[in-house]
Amino acid sequence: MTDAPAVRPTPVGRAVESWLTHLDVERGMSAHTLAAYRRDLARWSGYLAAAGVERPEDVTPAHVAEFLARLREGDDDHRPLAASSAARTLVAVRGLHRFLALEGVLEADPARDVAPPSTPDRLPKAIPLDAVERLLGAAAVGDTPAALRDRALLEVLYGTGARISEAVGLDVDDLDTSDGVVRLRGKGGKERVVPLGSYAATAVGAWTVRGRPVLAAKGRGTPALFLGARGARLSRQSAWAVLRACAERADLPGHLSPHTLRHSFATHLLEGGADVRVVQELLGHASVTTTQIYTRVTVQQLREVYAQSHPRAR
């Protein structure tokens, strides 16, 4: 029995792999983002193949526009995508062809002038300070290694605005307790140093002194700050489970996520008078435009207070 002949990749397929390799090696993009781009571009490649297009040079703006329309409408094999999901897929398509144009493979970028679908503005969901305190209080129950870790983890998430991947990616050496700061590694491997805060520093200190050595003894030795039951680095899934359990004990909504604490961190800073550009640096946003959506949250709260309090507001 002979092996089936290998399927030769098309020029479009080779171009996709070239761009993904560039993002991985040159840009240091996360594995999660690369996997999402790969899925989006697999659908794009499939559309082009069905249209009889094998070379990137043969792609036209009309192809990109029709592909976007099909994303929104769906077909026999795919459900219709929301505007936000279709826009994300188009980001991958535009990134690919912009890369090919910059590399000289294409004379012009066929996706450049195809605008993504407009998406409704979604305000970040934050929880009030008293709800945060209830959550952190629920994590402080007991003096076991797991309880000490859970309190430290949630204090770090809220106290630094870290993404969940940044928090579980912390090593012990990323902490500088003398200066009260922590080094976070964000998207694309970019590092930033943020204050730890006294509550988070106290919780982390209790964990590293009384809790971490107990779990570390069960593992093979790891520099990770947060450990699981077997002494290995705590996974994202386990960190989510910690938050869900604490939220349930605090009688808070079940849809609470680690990103909710990040949103709350930013919102509470701005409500306390922090400058938006300082919040931008703390969150690790590349552009202040991303951070400015939080200012709309505080304006909305002002409107609500005004509507409830002023005698001629309605």
In a domain, 112, yes or no: no
Residue 178 is predicted with a pLDDT of: 82
In a domain, 110, yes or no: no
Is residue 314, in this structure, part of any structural domain at all?
Answer: no
Mean pLDDT for the stretch of residues 48-60: 93
Mean pLDDT of 92-107: 93
CA separation for the pair 226, 237 (Å, rounded): 13
Percent of the chain with pLDDT over 70: 91
Residue 124 lies in a domain: no
In this model, does residue 195 exceed pLDDT 50? yes
- Predicted confidence at residue 122, as pLDDT, reads 62
The number of folded domains in the chain is 2
Q: Domain with 53 in it: what CATH number?
A: 1.10.150.130
The active-site residue out of 37, 47, 158, 294 is: 294
188 lies in some domain: yes
Q: Does 177 map to a domain? A: yes
CATH number of the domain bearing residue 244? 1.10.443.10
Q: Is 262 a catalytic residue?
A: yes
Whether residues 135 and 265 fall in one domain: yes
The answer to whether residues 145 and 279 belong to one domain is: yes
Last residue within a domain, chosen from 84, 102, 120? 102
Q: Which of 259, 277, 296, 303 is catalytic?
A: 259
Task: Give the per-residue pLDDT at 32.
Answer: 86
- Are 179 and 292 within one domain? yes
Residues 200 and 300 in one domain: yes
Query: What's the Rg (C-alpha) of the chain?
Result: 24
Last residue of a domain, one of 86, 102, 118: 102
Predicted pLDDT at 177:
81
Give the structural domain span for 221.
129-306
Same domain, 164 and 302: yes
CB neighbours of 51 closer than 8 A, spacing ≥ 6? 63
Q: Is residue 2 part of a domain?
A: no
Catalytic residue, from 94, 187, 233, 249: name it. 187
Is 190 one of the annotated active-site residues of the chain? no
Confidence of residue 1 (pLDDT cuts 50, 70, 90): very low
Q: Are residues 46 and 90 in the same domain?
A: yes
> So what's the pLDDT on residue 4?
47
Give the mean model confidence (pLDDT) for residues 83-101: 90
Choosing from 63, 212, 262, 263, the catalytic residue is 262
Q: Which among 163, 212, 263, 268 is annotated as catalytic?
A: 163
Tell whether the model's pLDDT for residue 28 goes beyond 80: yes
Residue the block writes with tokens 């703006």: 61
Which of 39, 67, 102 finishes a domain? 102
Give the tokens for residue 55: 């070379």
The verdict on 49 and 164 lying in the same domain is: no
Query: In this model, does residue 95 exceed pLDDT 70?
Result: yes
Residues 286 and 223 in one domain: yes
In 3-state terms, what secondary structure has residue 87? helix
pTM assigned to the model: 0.62
Residue 163 a catalytic site member:
yes
Rounded mean pLDDT, 124-138: 90
Amino acid sitting at position 171: D
Provide φ and ψ at 40, rounded to 5°.
Answer: -65, -40
What's the CA gap between 291 and 102, in Å, rounded? 29
Are residue 147 and residue 261 in the same domain, yes or no? Answer: yes
**Mean pLDDT computed over every residue of the chain:** 87
Whether 285 is catalytic is yes
Q: Are residues 255 and 162 in the same domain?
A: yes
Collect all residues with Cβ–Cβ distance below 8 Å to 34 and sequence separation of at least 6. 20, 23, 24
Residues 151 and 96 in one domain: no
Task: Kindly state whether residues 89 and 144 are assigned to the same domain.
Answer: no
Q: Which residue has the higher pLDDT, 307 or 211?
A: 211
Query: Is 53 contained in some domain?
Result: yes
